[in-house]
């Protein structure tokens, strides 16, 4: 069983996927963190995928390791665990940019399928149900209006002690939405058989109740 949950920035995917995986006893696969890790590692090397021809060749040589530990994706670089440094606004913006690279998407798609090879995974991302796991039996597309998503993302940054201007953040999310939806490679869109769920007026318990019901319906013999 693989459950895919796609959607735009700030739709609540991370919180929902983490809770859903815990409730079901599944692995939580945060594929967005994998793109941020690549962005961070390339930045450390002074490379940018969109401009540097060395990018594709260097991807397999980056000292990153992706593995599952305690039910969730874990990322290290030269043995150092990566977490908060991947959540910086600058890294998030760079991850959006390099996600348009065919070399990066191919490299990480292979990794994502390998990590999910044993099944029982909740995979969060933007092309999980359309490209990476098109045959997953349970697919969800979460969304919310722009104001709600901006407020949620700003709250996440505040929790980490990062100050971000609301108007600037809203503009960044709007720009990210356009880039994700309009890119030629794996554009952000719901799979034809995905449950579409707008979480704008919903609290987390309501979202979880709906998703658990949907999973149980799909899992019936």
How many Å apart are CA 46 and CA 32, to the nearest integer? 21
Q: What is the pTM of this model?
A: 0.87
Other CB atoms within 10 Å distance of the CB of residue 24: 19
* Cβ-contact 136, 219 below 8 angstroms: no
How many Å apart are CA 114 and CA 73, to the nearest integer? 12
Greater pLDDT, 55 or 113: 113
Mean pLDDT over residues 75-96, rounded?
A: 88
CATH architecture classification, 2-208:
3-Layer(aba) Sandwich (3.40)
| pLDDT value, residue 30 | 94
Structural domain boundaries in the chain: 2-208
Q: In the predicted model, is pLDDT for residue 52 greater than 70? A: no
Per-residue pLDDT tens digits for 139-193: 999 999 999 999 988 888 888 888 888 999 899 899 888 888 887 778 889 999 9
Which of 5, 34, 35 lies closest to 19, judged by CA?
5
Q: In the predicted model, is pLDDT for residue 31 greater than 90? A: yes
Which of the four pLDDT bands, split at 50, 70 and 90, describes residue 194?
very high
Average pLDDT taken over every residue of the chain: 89
Q: In the predicted model, is pLDDT for residue 63 greater than 70? A: yes
């Amino acid at each position: 069983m693989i459950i895919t949950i796609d959607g735009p920035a700030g739709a609540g995917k991370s919180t929902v996927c983490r809770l859903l995986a815990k409730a079901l006893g599944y692995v939580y696969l945060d594929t967005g963190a994998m793109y941020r890790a690549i962005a961070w590692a390339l930045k450390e090397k002074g490379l940018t995928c969109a401009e540097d021809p060395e990018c594709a060749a260097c991807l397999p040589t980056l000292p990153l390791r992706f593995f599952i530990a305690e039910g969730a994706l874990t990322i290290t670089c030269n043995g150092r665990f990566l977490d908060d440094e991947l959540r910086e606004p600058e890294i998030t913006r760079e991850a959006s940019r390099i996600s348009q690279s065919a070399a990066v998407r191919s490299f990480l798609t292979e990794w994502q399928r390998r990590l999910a090879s044993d099944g029982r995974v909740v995979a969060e991302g933007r092309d999980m149900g359309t490209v990476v796991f098109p045959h997953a039996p349970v697919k969800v597309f979460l969304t919310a209006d722009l104001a709600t998503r901006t407020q949620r993302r700003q709250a996440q940054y505040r929790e980490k002690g990062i100050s971000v201007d609301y108007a600037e953040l809203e503009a960044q999310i709007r720009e990210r939405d356009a880039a994700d939806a309009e890119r030629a490679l794996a554009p952000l869109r719901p799979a034809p058989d995905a449950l579409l769920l707008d979480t704008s007026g919903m609290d987390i318990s309501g979202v979880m109740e709906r998703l658990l019901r949907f999973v149980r319906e799909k899992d019936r013999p």
